[in-house]
Structure 1
C-alpha cells in the first residue's frame, strides 16, 4: 500500500491526549456529551434497517460493526453491550492500547487494531455497519479514505459519516467558540480548511457505490447541556448511506 490516509501531526495530537479518553470531564468531554445523540441515531437505523427488536437486551447480536478512528472506544463499548461484534481501528497505537485496557476492565470482547481503513480494506474484510465518526476532517487523502471506508461495507450494509460543515458558523462555533473561548477542546484540534460540506460527503459516498438514506444535523442546547438531532446541518452533521444488496 503506497498511499496512506495518515496525517502524522493529527496522530501525534490525539496520542498526546490518549490517557484522557475515558475521563468525562477531560479533553474528550465534548465527545462524552455528544455520544448519546450519535448512539441513538446509530441504534435507530440499525433496528430499522436490519429489522431488529428494540426491546431485546442484545438487539444487534450477529451484526458486525467497524468503528474507524475509534479512539478510546467510546462508541465501541456500548455497541458491544448491545450484542454487536465490534471492531475498532485507529492509526494511533496509544489510543488502541487505552481502548483495549478499558474494554478488558469492562469485561467486553472488542477487536481493537492499530491500523488504517485502507490497510483493513486491502484484506477484503466487510462489515454490516461502518462508523466514520469525526475522522474525515483529520486525515490526509480524503478520497482514498472515503473509498476505503466504503469498501469495508457489506452489500446491504450501512455507513454513517459524521463531521463538521465548512461554513462560517462552523468556524465561529467549533473553532473560535469551542477551542478558544469555551476551551471544550484543545486549541488546534480542528482545521476549518479540512471541513467538508454535506454535498461533498454525499458525492464521495455515491461515487463509491453507496446510496444516501438519511441525514441530520446535531446542535448543542446550552440550557439542557445536551446535543440533539436537528434539521440544521450548518455545523455538526451526520449522513447515513447503504450499499445496495446483491440482487
Structure 2
C-alpha cells in the first residue's frame, strides 16, 4: 500500500477541476495521466505491468475472446467473411472496441469469481489487458482480453474447469452461446511479461489495464 500526499493548494485545485469535469478526483487524475501518456512515449503502462508480473506468481494465461470461437483471429476472419469456407455460426456474437465497458465489467466479474474460489486470504492477483485486432484485411476491431492470474499449482485443474464454467454461463446468459476461453500455464516470468505486453504500446492508457488483488491503494 502507498499514498500520495499533495500540498493544500494542489489538493484544492484538483478538487475544483474534478468537480468542473463531473468526475471524481481519482477519475480526473487518471484522465490527466492518460492524456500525458497519449502525448509522450513514457512506457509507464509497460513498466507497471512488468513490475507486477515480476512481483507475483501470475502463472495462468487466459484469453477471453468475445466472439464465438476459441481462436479470436480465426473468428474475426469468419465473422468478417474473410476466411475460406467460412461458416457463419447460427448465433454469432462479437464485442467491439466501443463495447469495452461491457467487456471490462465481465472480466472484473470473472476475476471476482476466481478470487472467491482460489484466493488466499480473500485476495487473488489478476491482471487483464484488452486488445483489438485490425489486420490481415479485416476492418472490424473485435474485442478480446489477455489475462494473467496467480493460481496455486495444485488448483490448476480446478481453475481450468471453473474458468470454462464461468464463461460458458456468461456467454449463454448474454450472447446465447458459450464463450470458449483459452487457458495456458506460464513457463517463465519472461513468457508472462511477453504475453501481457504484446499489445501494450509506449503510450498505452493505464485505464486500459484491469489490475485487482495487488493491495495497491492510491490515497
What TM-score do you get using the length of structure 2 for normalisation?
A: 0.30
Q: Point out the structure with max Rg over C-alpha.
A: 2
Q: TM-score w.r.t. structure 1 length? A: 0.27
Bigger helix share:
2
Q: Which has the higher strand share?
A: 1
Q: Relative contact order, CA 8 A, sep 6+: which one is greater?
A: 2
